[in-house]
Structure 1
Amino acid sequence: MDEDKSPDEFRTYKGRNLIQRPFFLIYALLGVSYLLIIIGFVVALSKVATVSSEISKMRTTLAKDPFQHDLHLFPCGADTRQWEYFSGKCYYFSLKAVSWHMAKAQCEQQHSQLVIIDGFAKQNFIQTRTRNERFWIGLHDLRTEGEWKWLDGSNYRTGFQNWKQGEPNSYQSRDEDCGQVWINGEWNDYTCNSESYYVCEKPLPVKPTAASKRT
């Protein structure tokens, strides 16, 4: 009897092993899947925490310095968007033609002065925005005929110059004591009471201090 039962028991055990093996693989795959889901969830939470931290830092920075964002977008000031930035300074190109003296006064009212052109870079910047029109600049010989001076006291004689050929001169015995950028960007002297557009120049606005922000 024992010898007859032994082969049946062996076959029964072998059959159970074959039946259980697929279930083991399924459980193993489910376990790996759950593990991957948990890992993905942890990684997602970590990224969310990082983004939240960056947003919090940005909010803190803006709270400390609410003007910083505007200064990046509008270096010359958010309230003066008609001013253009170039090489550390701000420039205003007028939309109305006036006399040289009026142009000087209007620039001063805006805490600036008529532009001083002291090099090729600024000359190129100015002439690309004044093409086909005349614009007053901060150059004159009002005090002594022939002694040209910049409004800021820059050395005219040894500095950059870009006069049109034959200029400066006196046209039909009229005093032409004020400088302007000519149609093609070269300089021309002209009667100061004539009307032309003008270019104002000023330094970048001072970044507000903590004390000024509170007032």
Structure 2
Amino acid sequence: MDEDKFTDQFKSFKERTLQRPFFIIYVLLGVSYLLILIGFVVALSKVATLSSDVNKARAELAKDPTGHDFHLFPCGPDTRQWEYFRGKCYYFSLKAVSWHQAKAQCEGLQSQLVIIDGFPKQNFIQTRTRNERFWIGLYEVQEGDWRWLDGSNYRTGFRNWKQGEPNNYQNQNEDCGQVRINGEWNDYTCNSDSYFICEKPLPSKPAGSQKGT
């Protein structure tokens, strides 16, 4: 009798032992399916959000077709030679002319020769005028009386003259300002040829139909 009881207990234990791995597998499969379902729902949510954003962007573009270009090219998508910096646009010429010709060409582009009023603009210009000289909007009315084209106060404003400048080298009348190769300012004869920098305010709205230089 005891032997039969032991045999039955052993058989029951064996059956439970064999069933346990299958139970664990079923649990793992259930968890896996649940995770897959959650991932699928999250993916669908992200796709729906992205689709909504795309539709909004298309709607905005339909309302203002030039607005996207305006954000990418603040100075205008058709004005590739104009560079943006701190709310203004700058044109770096590819041809050297006299100071008065440079002034006239900037005015023809609805701008003026650049006014350098602080280190941020000085640094911006200096990084783009290496190895060349560029006219700026600074001129001398009479000996020692320098002025900016926009009427800014020269005497109390920012200056970055090269040491020993301004002067009249070899008794020449050097009445126009320029940035030198290293970015420092130099006075030079106005009828000499140098490159030049024009400056103008940032357009207030996209001007897709305007053609720039």
TM-score bin, normalised by smaller chain? 0.7 to 0.9
Kindly provide the amino acid, as one letter, of the partner of residue 103 in structure 2. Answer: K
Kindly provide the amino acid, as one letter, of the partner of residue 62 in structure 1. Answer: L
Change (3 A) 1:109 1:37: same
- Work out the CA distance in 2 between the residues paired with 1:116 and 1:149: 10
Q: Give secondary structure in 1 for the equivalent of 2:91.
A: strand
Aligned to 2:73: 74
TM-score (norm. length: structure 1): 0.76
- Work out the CA distance in 1 between the residues paired with 2:122 and 2:39: 59
Q: Give secondary structure in 1 for the equivalent of 2:120.
A: helix
1:182 Cα deviation (Å)?
Answer: 1.2
Kindly provide the amino acid, as one letter, of the partner of residue 201 in structure 1. Answer: E
TM-score (norm. length: structure 2): 0.77
* Contiguous gaps of at least 5 residues in structure 2: 1-14
Preserved contact between residue 112 and residue 198 of structure 2 (Cα < 8 Å):
yes
Structure 1 residue 160 corresponds to structure 2 residue 149: no
Larger radius of gyration: 1
- After superposition, the CA RMSD in angstroms is 3.0
1:173 Cα deviation (Å)?
Answer: 2.2
Structure 1 residue 203 corresponds to structure 2 residue 201: yes
1:161 Cα deviation (Å)?
Answer: 0.8
Kindly provide the amino acid, as one letter, of the partner of residue 136 in structure 1. Answer: W
Q: Give secondary structure in 1 for the equivalent of 2:187.
A: strand
Aligned to 1:89: 88
Determine what percentage of the aligned residue pairs are the same residue: 78
What are the Cα deviations for residues 22-44 of structure 1, in whole angstroms up to 9, with x where unaligned? xxx9xx99xx6988877666555
Kindly provide the amino acid, as one letter, of the partner of residue 146 in structure 1. Answer: G
Aligned to 1:172: 170
Q: How many residues align?
A: 192
Change (3 A) 1:38 1:167: closer
Preserved contact between residue 138 and residue 177 of structure 2 (Cα < 8 Å):
yes
- Work out the CA distance in 1 between the residues paired with 2:137 and 2:122: 13
Kindly provide the amino acid, as one letter, of the partner of residue 121 in structure 1. Answer: P
* Contiguous gaps of at least 5 residues in structure 1: 1-17
Structure 1 residue 192 corresponds to structure 2 residue 183: no
My pick for the range that moved more, 40-49 or 182-191, is 40-49
Alignment of 1:111-130 (within 5 A): 111-130=110-129
